[in-house]
């Protein structure tokens, strides 16, 4: 890759549109669910699975289920996408409200 191509690729990456929202992690073996939020839903599964594989996830219940049942028992789904206009400068509050809502709907633990 030439320096110009690299520069163009970096610029395209920085300008890409990302979807923020709420996601659910489900353990098929136990039926347990965990609800979280992310600024970029397209990258959250990779980041989350990496943390779980390393054994360092901050939610002990999720980490214990991952260790007991392995990665093949887990799935991630997007439950709500939030647009930039909705988020605006109150992003953290909106994330927390929507996460709380989905935790109640799914009787799930927040991550």
Decide if domain 18-110 falls under CATH 2.40.50.100. no
Count CB neighbours of 42 within 10 A. Answer: 12
Domain range list for the chain: 18-110
pTM over 0.85: no
pLDDT value at position 86? 65
pLDDT in tens, the chain (111 residues): 888 888 877 777 667 677 899 999 999 999 999 999 998 999 999 999 999 999 888 888 899 999 999 999 999 999 999 877 666 678 888 889 999 999 999 999 988
């Amino acid at each position: 890759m030439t320096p110009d191509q690299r520069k163009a690729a970096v610029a395209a990456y920085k300008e890409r549109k990302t979807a923020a929202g709420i996601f659910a992690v489900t353990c098929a073996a136990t039926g347990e669910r965990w609800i979280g939020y992310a600024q970029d839903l397209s990258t959250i599964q990779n980041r989350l699975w990496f943390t779980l594989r390393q054994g360092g996830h901050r939610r002990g219940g999720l980490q214990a289920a991952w260790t007991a049942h392995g990665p093949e028992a887990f799935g991630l789904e997007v439950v709500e996408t939030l647009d930039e206009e909705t988020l605006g400068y109150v992003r953290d509050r909106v994330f927390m409200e929507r996460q709380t809502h989905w935790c109640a709907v799914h009787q799930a633990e927040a991550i």
